[in-house]
Amino acid sequence: MKKRTMETSLADHSPKLIRSIERRLFLRQGLSLGALVLLSGCELTDDEGVQSLLKGMSRWNDGAQAWLFGPNKLAPEFPESAITKPFPFNAFYREDEVTLVDAKDYELELEGMIREKKPWTLPELYALPQTSQITRHICVEGWSAIGKWSGVRFSDFLARVGADTSAKYVGFKCADDYYTSIDMATALHPQTLLTFRFADQILPPKYGFPMKLRIPTKLGFKNPKHIMAMFVTNEYPGGYWEDQGYNWFSGS
């Protein structure tokens, strides 16, 4: 076997050498091209054509995720012992910059395709039938944490106020100028809760006082905190992060 290799390489040594040099040059050019592509990775992402392709794919992924979404597929629930302590704070600002909402004057405003637009005070909201869940919050950054939230089932609330559930979107406006929106199928999911308590305590400001929409079937940034108003619409409302390029559906 080894002997044969020797013979082959001696038999046509010179043409092979030339070929080999040619190919090495070719290879080197190929590698340089690869390096160039890698170096210009940032510029590549900024390119307009590439941008519209990526946005188109993100839109396509919205559709794929809506298709994959099971209206009755439940997020796993955990025992109390699995709760992450301390539960991480996360927002687009620092923890000492959290917006403080005054409970006394608070009213939840309802807009858009909703029959009864009467605003809701906190005592009225607290008086609604409450339910709890211990679920995993998954951040778009990758980390996850398990927490316990309590509140009213969002589908019950939407039915109570006469929301048009044939509409496409529910949008949210928050006290910290955050805003986001979700698809109606997710809004009606049995585990989507309008929550007022975290770990059996009234939501502290850092976790979204006076209320957070808890959606265990979506990434963390799709769970709005400090909600001041919500609206039902057929016009795509976007969101704070979504408008900057994060995927809109962001289901989990």
Binding footprint of another protein on the chain (CB under 8 A): 1-2, 4-5, 8, 11-12, 15, 19-20, 23-24, 26-27, 30, 38, 41-42, 44-46, 53-55, 57-58, 61, 68-70, 73-76, 136, 138-144, 216-217, 241, 244-247, 251-252
By beta-carbon proximity to another protein, the closer residue of 93 and 143 is: 143
Choice between 169 and 221, CB closer to another protein? 221
Nearer to another protein, 89 or 143 (CB): 143
Nearer to another protein, 1 or 105 (CB): 1
Residue 35 three-state SS: helix
We find the least distance from the C-beta atom of residue 9 to another protein, in angstroms, to be: 9
Backbone angles phi, psi at 24, to 5 degrees: -65, -40
* In the complex, minimum distance from the CB of residue 109 to another protein, in angstroms, rounded to a whole number: 30
Per 3-state DSSP, the chain is made up of helix, strand and coil in percentages (nearest 5) of: 40, 25, 40
**Is the Cα torsion angle 64, 65, 68, 72 positive or negative in sign?**
negative
Q: How far apart are CB 42 and another protein at their closest, in Å?
A: 5
The kind and range of the H/E element at 229 are: strand 227-233
Smallest distance, another protein to C-beta of residue 158, A: 21
Packing angle, helices 13-39 and 2-11, rounded to 10: 90
Cα–Cα distances (Å) from 36 to 1, 44, 48, in that order, read: 41, 11, 19
Beta carbon of residue 143, minimum distance to another protein (angstroms, whole number): 4
201 alpha carbon, distance to own chain's centre: 26
Q: Report the C-alpha gap between 56 and 150 in whole angstroms.
A: 37
Residue 191 or 195 having the CB closest to another protein: 191
